[in-house]
Amino acid sequence: MQSDAKKLVEKHNNLNHSDLLKVVSHIQREQGEWILHTLMIEGCDTPFKFKRKGNYQSLKGARVNITYYPEQQVVAGITFEVMKVVRIKKG
C-alpha cells in the first residue's frame, strides 16, 4: 500500500517529500484570520511555511515528515525562495 505522501508526489511533479527532518526553529504569528507557521530545518537555509487556523504546539527539536514545493516570494523587491508546506506530520 502506498503512503498518501508518495501518491501526492507522483501526482504533482514539483512536489517533494522528506522524512524525519529536525526542526531547529518554529515561529507562529497571526496573519489575518490565519496563523502563519515558519519552520527552519537542520541543514537547510530555506524556510518552510504553512498557514493553519490555530496555533500548534512548538515543533522546535521535533522530527517531522514534510510534503512541500519550492515557491518564490518577493519582499521589498527582493525575491526569496521558500518551501510551501502541503502536509506535515510528526515523525
Write out the residue range of the structural domain in which residue 44 sits. 4-90
Nearest Cα to 47, choosing from 70, 20, 13? Answer: 70
| Contact status, residue 35 vs residue 51, Cβ threshold 8 Å | yes
Query: What is the dihedral angle through the alpha carbons of 88, 46, 14, 78, rounded to the nearest 10 degrees?
Result: 130
Give pLDDT tens digits for 60-81.
Answer: 999 999 999 999 999 899 999 9
CATH number, domain containing residue 16: 2.40.50.140
Give pLDDT tens digits for 19-38.
Answer: 999 999 999 999 999 999 99
Per the structure, how many domains does the chain have?
1
Residue 79's φ and ψ, nearest 5 degrees, are: -90, 130
> What is this structure's pTM?
0.83
